[in-house]
C-alpha cells in the first residue's frame, strides 16, 4: 500500500525563478520515507537507542519530469518495490494534483552501531509484510 504525505512548497525551497531547487526533492522524499516508517510502526530513534541500528540511503535513481513552484501543494508517495534481508528498495514520487513531477527508486540499507552493514531489523521486515497484506 502506498504511503502519502502532503507538503507545501515554501519560498526557502525555491531558486531565484521560484522553482523548487533540485536537491529539495531529495528532502521531500526523505520526509516521505520517515513518515512511512512511522506509519508502519517503526520508531527510528528507539531502534537506534536500543540496537544501534540506523538506516542509510545507498542508492537513488531520480528523474525530474516537471517543475514544482512556490506555494504548490505536493503529494509524496512511498511504495515498497523489493525487500531482501539486507535492503529495502522503494519507489517514490512527488505529484502536484495528478501530474508526476519527480520519481525516484531509493535503496535503503541498515548500518550497525559500528557503521558497518547489518541485516534489516526483524521488526521492519515484519512490518513490511503486514503492510503488504493490507
Fold of 3-133: Thiol Ester Dehydrase; Chain A (3.10.129)
How high is the pLDDT of residue 132? Answer: 64
Q: Which three cell numbers stand for residue 28?
A: 521531500
Q: Which three cell numbers stand for residue 58?
A: 545507498
- Which residue ranges of the chain lie beneath pLDDT 70? 131-134
The H or E element containing residue 89 is strand 87-96
Burial class (CB in 10 A: 0-12, 13-18, 19+), 16: exposed
- pTM exceeding the 0.85 threshold for the entire prediction: yes
How high is the pLDDT of residue 97? Answer: 96
- Domain boundaries along the sequence of the chain: 3-133
Whether 15 is a known active-site residue: answer: yes
Identify the active-site residue in 15, 43, 63, 71: 15
Are the C-beta atoms of residues 90 and 37 closer than 8 Å to each other?
Answer: no
Amino acid at each position: 500500500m502506498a504511503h502519502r504525505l502532503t507538503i507545501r512548497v515554501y519560498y526557502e525551497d525555491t531558486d531565484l525563478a521560484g522553482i523548487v531547487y533540485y536537491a529539495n526533492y531529495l528532502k521531500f522524499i526523505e520526509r516521505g520515507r520517515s513518515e512511512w516508517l512511522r506509519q508502519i510502526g517503526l520508531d527510528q530513534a528507539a531502534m537506534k537507542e536500543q540496537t544501534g541500528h540506523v538506516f542509510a540511503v545507498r542508492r537513488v535513481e531520480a528523474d525530474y519530469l516537471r517543475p514544482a513552484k512556490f506555494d504548490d501543494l505536493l503529494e509524496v508517495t512511498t511504495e515498497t518495490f523489493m525487500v531482501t534481508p539486507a535492503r529495502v528498495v522503494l519507489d517514490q514520487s512527488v505529484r502536484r494534483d495528478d501530474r508526476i513531477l519527480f520519481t525516484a527508486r531509493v535503496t535503503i540499507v541498515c548500518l550497525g552501531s559500528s557503521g558497518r552493514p547489518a541485516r534489516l531489523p526483524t521488526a521492519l521486515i515484519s512490518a513490511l509484510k503486514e503492510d503488504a497484506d493490507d
